[in-house]
Structures are given as structure tokens and as C-alpha cells.
Amino acid sequence: MYIALSVIHILIAISLILLVLLQSGKGADIGAAFGGGSSQTVFGGRGAATFLSKATSAMAILFMLMSITLTLLASQRGTSSVIPEDRPKPAPTAPAAPATPAPVPAPAAPQAPSK
């Protein structure tokens, strides 16, 4: 399911890019600001919302929702790594020869009192 949602997310991103590139720039009517040509001030300075601008807004909303969904799904998935957690133990080496215990000194003999 995660892979299918990722593919849909990529398709939404590509369509969003294409929709933005298909729209004309807002600076195209700069000549109208100085009185040259006709300006589209019936719907305000920005003009009427075209189909492309509405589709761009819808794709942007879908892109954001899909991003949040994929983030939540990724945080709930088990973490996997290419590095294993339990490292292989080193090969056992030959055991060292047991150390000989140090000689324990004999207790001192009691001395007779001298007169």
C-alpha cells in the first residue's frame, strides 16, 4: 500500500508541475498598468479564476494531504536498516594458559621473648 501511495504521490507532483508550467505568467499584463491595451479589470486585478488555476489549487491540496499521509505511514512502519543490529561475534581464540597462583608467604613463627 505504501508503494502504491508513493506512486500516486509522484503522479500528483508531476501533474502539479505541468499545471504550473501551463499557466501564463502574472506579469503578462504589465502593459495594461500603464494604459496600453485592454486590461481585465472586470474581475479585479487578478482576473477570473481559470480552470488551470482551480486545478492547480486542487492538486496542491492533494499533494499536501498525500505528503502528510505518507509521513504518518512511514512513521508507523517498522524501521529497517541494511546494517544488522546484532553484529557477528569475533571468532573464539585459543584460551590463554591459566596463570599459576603466586606463592602465599608462610605465617611468621612466634618469637620467644628475649631477656
**Per-residue confidence of the chain (115 residues) as pLDDT tens digits?**
889 999 999 999 999 999 999 887 766 555 555 655 555 555 555 556 788 889 999 999 999 999 999 999 988 877 667 777 776 677 777 666 666 777 777 777 677 666 6
User: How far is CA 104 from each of CA 45, 50, 55, 100, 101, rounded to the nearest angstrom?
Assistant: 103, 100, 93, 12, 9
pLDDT for 36 equals 54
pTM, two decimal places:
0.53
CA of residue 21 relative to chain centroid, distance: 27
Three-class SS of residue 44? coil
Interval 56-74: pLDDT, tens:
999 999 999 999 999 999 8
